Amino acid sequence: MAYFLIVRRLSDEALERLRAAADRPDLSGTRYTIREEIGRGGMGTVYLAEDAALERPVALKVLTLESSGNAGAEAARLLREARVMARLEHPGLVPVHDAGTLPDGRVFYAMKHVRGRRLDEYARSGPSLVDRLAVFRKICDAVAFAHAAGVVHRDLKPENVMLGGFGEVLVLDWGVARSTEDPVEPGGTVVGTRAYMAPEQADGRTDLVDARTDIHALGVILRDLLAAAPAPDAAAARALGAVARRAMAPRPEDRYPSVPDLSADVGRFLEGEVPSAHRETPFERVGRFIRRYRTPIALVLAYLAMRAAILIFFGR
């Protein structure tokens, strides 16, 4: 039995190596040389490559062999993803350098090679609440820019956000993004990742999928970031929980009207104010006042304690 398992494992590994070798794109006659495979999805494989013309590393996304046989639909989708990314020039979005067709007939595009870690990996590393919320607001900035350009991502999730080594926060994978210029997809079309889908997206209500659909996904991301480490106190947890719940409201009209509105509510919390989504209790209001002015309050209390001590000492 053990022998059979070893042979089967070796066979699986050999088949995987053969599959990877067969899928390796033909870059002859191009300016690119593959270094290694760094990612794989349902539509394309991403390679770390060297751009000989500019002498720099790039990430090369190439249509897989399986997808290339799909009557050109996946090829058009990959090129469309490249065009969407190319038109969205923002520090929070990966720039596209090149796109075209390889000698083997497969389409590709070259983009900046992002060094860093995914948002879910970052969240598990134990950053402070303030740092997590600052990262979240940078994600919001990039998504808001895309919305202003008429583009809805439709697959926002921690795995599609990368943090660079110098504070960059980049939103990746625009393969299923939709533009307001695109025709409405047939009803029943469902794309994205189930755990982050808004109800209208999961139900295939393509006529209702818009910027508020991305707001729902951002709410789930915020909830995940809050779950990665507890808030400093119950009041903070309730306030931020209310923000996430409003963003994730089942009905689109009950969510934040725009991504900047969602980001602004997180900003209110960071500034010691009350998010619009949260109804503060009197006890929470007192606690927030004390936290916000703890230094002057401490000085006043120390002064009063000193005066009381002096009065007691000299009153003997």
Tokens representing 174 are 């625009």
DSSP, res 39: E
Residue at token pair 């923002």? 90
Residue-wise pLDDT tens digits, 181-198: 888 888 888 989 999 999
- Of the two residues 92 and 231, the one the predictor is more confident about is 92
- Give the angle subtended at the CA of 195 by the CAs of 276 and 116, to the nearest 5°: 85
3-state DSSP assignment of residue 36: strand
- Of the two residues 208 and 307, the one the predictor is more confident about is 208
Band (pLDDT 50/70/90 cuts) for residue 175 is: confident
Catalytic residue selected from 51, 120, 141, 155: 155
* 158 within 8 A of 63, measured Cβ to Cβ: no
pLDDT at 71 (0 to 100): 47
Band (pLDDT 50/70/90 cuts) for residue 294 is: low
pLDDT at 165 (0 to 100): 83
Residue-wise pLDDT tens digits, 245-284: 999 999 999 999 999 999 999 999 999 889 999 876 654 5
pLDDT at 235 (0 to 100): 84
Q: What percent of the chain has pLDDT over 70?
A: 81
* 155 within 8 A of 175, measured Cβ to Cβ: yes
Report phi then psi at 304, rounded to 5: -65, -40
pLDDT at 75 (0 to 100): 87
Single-letter amino acid, residue 73: A
Mean pLDDT within 239-244 = 95
Cβ neighbors of 173 (< 8 A, separation 6 or more) are: 41, 155, 160
Q: Is 214 a catalytic residue?
A: no
| CA distance to 16, 17, 21, 22, 94, per residue, from 8 (Å) | 12, 14, 20, 21, 41
pLDDT at 6 (0 to 100): 56
Spatial separation of the C-alpha atoms in residues 10 and 162, rounded to whole Å = 34
pLDDT at 217 (0 to 100): 98
Bin 166: left if φ > 0, else alpha if -120 < ψ < 50, else beta. Answer: alpha
- Of the two residues 138 and 305, the one the predictor is more confident about is 138
Tokens representing 163 are 């943090």
Rg (CA), the chain: 26
Residue at token pair 């520090």? 91
Strand partners, 256: none
Cβ neighbors of 206 (< 8 A, separation 6 or more) are: 184, 185, 186, 187, 188, 189
| CA distance to 154, 173, 237, 270, 287, per residue, from 275 (Å) | 26, 31, 12, 9, 15
